[in-house]
Amino acid sequence: MVSIKSPREIELMKAPGRIVAQILREMGEMLEPGITTWDIDRFAESRIKDLGAVSAFKGYHGFPACVCISVNEEVVHGIPSKKKKLGEGDIVGLDFGVHVDGWYGDSARTFPIGKVSPEVRKLIEVTEKSLALGIEACRVGSRVFDIGHAVQSCVEAAGFSVVREFVGHGIGRALHEDPQVPNFGSPGKGAVIKEGMVLAIEPMVNMGSHRVAVLDDGWTAVTQDRKWSAHFEHTIAVTVAGPVILTSE
């Protein structure tokens, strides 16, 4: 069942969206060589409290932290750790969500640490661009696979690949609602996009093969070929005036 949100409910979803955007920006500003992924998560947890929100991730199916932090060949769902230090030239994906009064917001962004290689910079830029194109495709009367088609076309034209195993999703009173929003697909296929749908669109883009594996910790997804991967995500409301990004400040 795909839930449809009223204009008033979409207004309410701006509160968690704004907080997610603010804390993601603040986490981005603290990134530098030598910081651990644990430090980033501790910061996020304290900011969630300051701003009167609740973590969407901590305890979700047993996930132990507030931020999924995925470095280099890690695709998504990396667990913050005191042992994991960021180094010059790394890339780090921060995937972050909160709820406020029972309404959820979810967003992700991949940041370079210092100077990265031109190919890695391109990976980040293409992933962010593919998200923008996916958002553009979120139009009343279009189909869910139009979104994935827009993402996949952009990514594959650049010589990269989209992950199949993890997909975007509806969001609202729960972190994950119907429908699933794949980052691939044929245009004109899938459920019709309606006014009042709220979708989290989240391309995960690999430099090499699209194939992923999950590490023994049961969470961290890595690329099978260990080439690097980037991830961007926004929570989007579908309105007659076009897509509205809720996870912005």
Binding interface with Mg ion (CB under 5 A) = 95, 106, 108, 200, 202, 233
Q: Which is nearer to Mg ion, 82 or 164 (CB)?
A: 164
Shortest spacing between CB 175 and Mg ion, in angstroms: 7
Whether the Cβ atoms of residue 87 and residue 33 lie closer than 8 Å to each other: yes
Residue 172 and residue 165 in contact, taking contact as beta carbons nearer than 8 Å:
no
Q: Which residue, 96 or 228, has its beta carbon nearer to Mg ion?
A: 96
Taking the complex as a whole, the smallest distance from the CB of residue 75 to Mg ion amounts, in Å, to: 12
* Residue 45 token pair: 């947890």
HEC profile of 141-198: CCEHHHHHHHHHHHHHHCCCEECCCCCEEECCCCCCEEEEECCCCCCCCCCECCCCCE
Q: Based on CB atoms, which residue is closest to Mg ion, 33 or 218?
A: 218
Whole-number minimum distance, CB 106 to Mg ion, in Å? 4
Question: Cβ closer to Mg ion: 57 or 145?
Answer: 57
The DSSP H or E segment spanning 229 is strand 229-231
Radius of gyration of the chain (CA): 17
- Smallest gap from residue 169 Cβ to Mg ion (A): 6
Name which of 102 and 159 has its Cβ closer to Mg ion: 102
CB of 167 to Mg ion, least distance (A): 9
Asked if 165 and 212 touch (Cβ cutoff 8 Å), the reply is yes
Q: How many CB atoms lie within 10 A of CB 207?
A: 20
Strand partners, 199: 170, 236
